[in-house]
Amino acid sequence: MPVWAWWGLISIGLFAVGWLYGRLSRPPTPAGHGPWDTSWAVYFSPNGGATHAIIEGIRSAQQTILVQAYLLYSTRLAGALVRAHQRGVQVHVILDAHAQPHHPPVQAVALLLGAGIPISLDARHAWAHDKVMILDGAIVITGSYNWTVAAEQENGENLLVIRDPRLARMYTENWRRHARHSTPYRATRPWWVCLRVFWGYLTRRRRKRWDSDMGERG
């Protein structure tokens, strides 16, 4: 074989080895940097940015946000859902019926109720332990991460953001199965609130009657 052919083979071999080495030694994309830049991103608690990732996901939603939450104490996340609802996104939340107080509701849940966001309680299971959010039928956010302050600041948790319409469709079907056997949230007011409303009603009636009597005397 001519010398130039040997040199050609050596050059090709060196090029192939260099290309393969470059591929294998290339650092992977950092997890959690830019949740919508790739098909997935992962976050770990404590203080790993999971709450921020959920809020960014809620802000990005244009049509629907479907939620299954075991616990909902985070007013930051509840506030983000309220703002999405106010700009026209359809929001519906399913909560475990027993995991947290519901009568009266905790502050985060009260924010949703006050905004008119539909909430359902799932009492079919021992625990409705899902932690899932589906955005626009295309993005799934799930993991061990509960919607609480402790999950962000104290607990060891994980949160996975996956952009995959096929996976989102399966999660949506599961969400709907749970929605069918869940019951709409009907918040009951404490007795003292009912008493105050009744007292206000009596006071208004008394004031109207007094004004009427004064008008007749005048």
pLDDT digits (tens, 9 = 90+) for 12-59: 766 665 655 555 444 334 344 444 445 888 889 788 888 899 999 999
Residue 39, burial from CB neighbour count under 10 angstroms (0-12, 13-18, 19+): exposed
Complete DSSP assignment for the chain: --HHHHHHHHHHHHHHHHHHHHHHHSPPPPTTSSTTTSSEEEEESSSSSHHHHHHHHHHH-SSEEEEEES-B--HHHHHHHHHHHHTT-EEEEEEESSSS-BTTBPHHHHHHHHHT--EEEE-SSS-----EEEETTTEEEEES--BSHHHHHTS--EEEEEE-HHHHHHHHHHHHHHHHH-EE--PPPPHHHHHHHHHHHHHHHHHHHHHHHHHHH-
pLDDT at 132 over 80: yes
Is 131 one of the annotated active-site residues of the chain?
yes
Catalytic residue, chosen from 98, 129, 130, 164, is 129
Q: Respond yes or no: is residue 136 known to be catalytic.
A: yes
Residue 192 pLDDT class (50, 70, 90 cuts): very low
State how far the Cα of 199 lies from the Cα of 170, in Å rounded to an integer.
51
Given the residues 52, 136, 181, 211, select the one marked as catalytic.
Answer: 136
Catalytic member of 131, 164, 181, 208? 131
pLDDT over threshold 60, residue 191: no
Q: What is the pLDDT of residues 74-118, one digit of tens each?
A: 899 999 999 999 999 999 999 988 877 777 788 888 899 999 999
In the predicted structure, residue 207 carries a pLDDT above the cut 70: no
In this predicted structure, the answer to whether residue 217 has a pLDDT above a threshold of 50 is yes
User: Where are the domains positioned within the chain?
Assistant: 46-185
Q: Which CATH number fits domain 46-185: 3.50.50.60, 3.30.870.10, 1.10.340.70, 3.40.50.1220?
A: 3.30.870.10
